């Protein structure tokens, strides 16, 4: 999509659309034979165009001359009334729209794969973390819904951006359409029709900027790249979480049979895909400053300091977003869950979290709340010291069961520390969120789980 040849082929389509429309509107200088010759033109001759550019130092005029050599009959009317930004701005807009089509499909496929994972693990209780400290439990599936929701936001945002992109149209050198007004002998209605008809021929009926300088507003580029950075943010959040969870041996990204984790430490299973997502996301997020600065520093009707920057920043943003999503598709397609490790870690912390339930149950059976509270406090401190200073297991529940003041609830304690009693509505939230917000969107777009990510390294 962002190759030179594709870009130059779009230029050819734009020149043909302009010539066709000028002829349709009665411009005598453009004949039917010239339009037909342009329509039948050979493919872009890159070598010929490059030879012209080496002499002219102007990419658009190099291609004008190259096309003129290939289609001599149409040479006099190629680019008639247009400025360079007629082909550059409009073609780049089309490239961005085509790129968004690709990324939107991959983003929805990522949502679908996370949906499948969340449904499969909605009842797997796990420690939640705030400040990266153990907190009230959640479920593995509920955590996946947080990732999924971010990508849902991105998919909808990308669609909105794609569907509201506007072409520059045919506006002339500084956006006043003066050249076209001269060609049509002052006929304002024909000039307006030219602008609208060219845009419609390129597939963007009614979607053009009402006013421009020499370029369309560069805020459009910022809106596009910012939406791509949204994907980077969501992917980085997921990948960082994966790296943390893999270090705790609770979840793992796919690890192939012959894959090597470290050149020195043969036992290692490094989360290299998630690390790569993080690295690429950092790069994509940094690219947002380029269109932001470009939009902010345009001089009057236009300055050329945007051109080289845009060709790098926009194409690299799309290519980086594509690489990130390919990795996301690969990782989410093969996530590995280790329920026993998850349960072990949860059980190490759950006794502390269960003490309030135990306290309430003992009070209901006639115990003194203050006495019970003090006993739990003393036992908790002793158990924590045993874990932290001696490296032993958490024996808080056993201490409580051995304490006479809790004799009435001793037989109930095992039931009172069932992990699923502490996850709140997490499983139900997974079911509701998917049914209400995810499934309707996926079904409306016929999203397939068969879309696979291609990881070459």
The token duo for 273 is 């895909």
| Residue among 131, 160, 375, 380 flagged as catalytic | 131
Q: In 3-state terms, what secondary structure has residue 452?
A: coil
**For the chain, how are helix, strand and coil distributed in percent, rounded to 5?**
70, 5, 25
Residues 6+ positions from 403 with CB-CB distance below 8 Å: 375, 379
Give the sign of the dihedral formed by CA 256, CA 259, CA 264, CA 267.
positive
**Helical packing angle, 59-70 and 4-24, nearest 10°:** 70
Q: What is the DSSP letter of 139?
A: E
Which H/E stretch holds residue 133? Answer: strand 133-139
- The radius of gyration computed from the CA coordinates of the chain, to the nearest angstrom, equals 31
Residues 336 and 251: beta-carbon distance below 8 Å: yes
What gap in Å lies between CA 324 and CA 226, rounded to an integer?
15
Token reading at 368? 């003194």
d(CA 293, CA 218): 10
CA angle 390, 393, 399 (to 5 degrees): 100
Catalytic residue check, 262:
yes
Nearest to 304 by CA among 290, 294, 293: 294
- Is 79 a catalytic site residue? no
Query: Which of the residues 58, 160, 262, 448 is marked catalytic?
Result: 262
- Residue 190: CB atoms within 10 Å: 20
Tokens in use for 241? 């979480």
Q: How far is CA 416 from CA 146, 180, 359, in A?
A: 28, 81, 10
Task: Report the distance separating Cα 286 and Cα 105, nearest Å.
Answer: 24
What is d(CA 241, CA 142) in angstroms, rounded to the nearest whole number? 14
- Cβ atoms of residues 235 and 162 within 8 Å: no
Cα dist. 173→12, 241, 335 in Å? 19, 51, 54
- What positions carry a catalytic annotation? 131, 262
């Amino acid at each position: 999509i962002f190759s030179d040849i594709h870009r130059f082929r779009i230029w050819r389509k734009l020149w043909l659309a302009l010539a066709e429309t000028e002829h349709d509107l009665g411009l005598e200088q453009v004949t039917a034979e010239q339009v037909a010759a342009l329509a039948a033109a050979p493919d872009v001759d890159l070598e010929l165009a490059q030879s012209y550019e080496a002499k002219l130092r102007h990419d658009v005029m190099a291609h004008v001359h190259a096309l003129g050599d290939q289609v001599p009959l149409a040479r006099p009317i190629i680019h008639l009334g247009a400025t360079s930004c007629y082909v550059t701005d409009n073609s780049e807009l089309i490239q961005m729209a085509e790129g968004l089509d690709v990324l939107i499909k991959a983003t929805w496929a990522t949502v679908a794969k996370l949906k499948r994972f969340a449904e499969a693990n909605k009842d797997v209780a796990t420690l939640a973390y705030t400040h990266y400290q153990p907190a009230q439990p959640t479920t593995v599936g509920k955590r996946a819904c947080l990732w999924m929701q971010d990508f849902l936001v991105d998919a909808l945002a990308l669609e909105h951006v794609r569907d509201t992109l506007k072409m520059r149209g045919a506006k002339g050198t500084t956006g006043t359409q003066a050249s076209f007004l001269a060609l049509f002998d002052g006929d304002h209605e024909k000039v307006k029709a030219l602008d609208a008809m060219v845009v419609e021929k390129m597939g963007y009926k009614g979607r053009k900027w009402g006013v421009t300088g020499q370029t369309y507003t560069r805020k459009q580029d910022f809106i596009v790249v910012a939406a791509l950075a949204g994907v980077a943010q969501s992917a980085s959040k997921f990948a960082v979480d994966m790296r943390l969870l893999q270090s705790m041996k609770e979840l793992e990204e796919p690890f192939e049979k012959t894959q090597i984790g470290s050149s020195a430490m043969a036992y290692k299973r490094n989360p290299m895909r998630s690390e790569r997502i993080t690295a690429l996301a950092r790069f994509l997020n940094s690219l947002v400053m380029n269109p932001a600065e470009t939009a902010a520093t345009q001089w009057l009707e236009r300055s050329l300091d945007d051109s080289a920057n845009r060709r790098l920043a926009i194409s690299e943003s799309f290519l980086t977003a594509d690489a990130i999503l390919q990795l996301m598709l690969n990782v989410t397609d093969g996530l590995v869950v280790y329920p026993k490790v998850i349960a072990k870690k949860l059980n190490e912390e759950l006794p502390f979290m269960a003490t309030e339930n135990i306290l309430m149950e003992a009070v209901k059976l006639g115990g003194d709340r203050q006495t019970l509270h003090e006993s739990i406090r003393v036992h908790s401190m002793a158990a924590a010291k045993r874990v932290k200073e001696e490296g032993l297991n958490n024996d808080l529940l056993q201490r409580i069961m051995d304490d006479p003041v809790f004799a009435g609830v001793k037989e109930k304690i095992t039931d009172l520390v069932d992990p699923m009693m502490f996850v709140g509505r997490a499983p139900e939230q997974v079911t509701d969120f998917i049914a209400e917000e995810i499934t309707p969107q996926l079904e409306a777009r016929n999203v397939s789980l068969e879309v696979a990510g291609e990881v070459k390294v």
